[in-house]
Amino acid sequence: MGGEEFAILTSLSKKETTQILAEFRQQLITHPFIENELPLPITVSIGMTEFNYLSDTDSYEGSDILYVRADKALYEAKRAGKDRLVWF
């Protein structure tokens, strides 16, 4: 991760997380930032993944697998036209 990328860890379900992030994206659209009295449109591309205890436990210690999957999802969201949420 770098630049304008950041990570969020949550114990919420996939459905709850998707709903919250969809609301976040909508808030950015409906409440734009104002710069020099002009609206500054903001988009957000989100790549999401989840820890799967059945497949990720064996490689969890010292592994970057969650970041790798989230990064792949993020770049797929950007490739698909930005301002999207993609799960991997």
Greatest C-alpha distance within the chain: 53
Nearest-angstrom CA–CA distance, 59 and 41: 40
Is 4 tagged catalytic? yes
Q: How many CB atoms lie within 10 A of CB 49?
A: 20
List 48's β-bridge partners, or say none. 87
Catalytic residues: 4
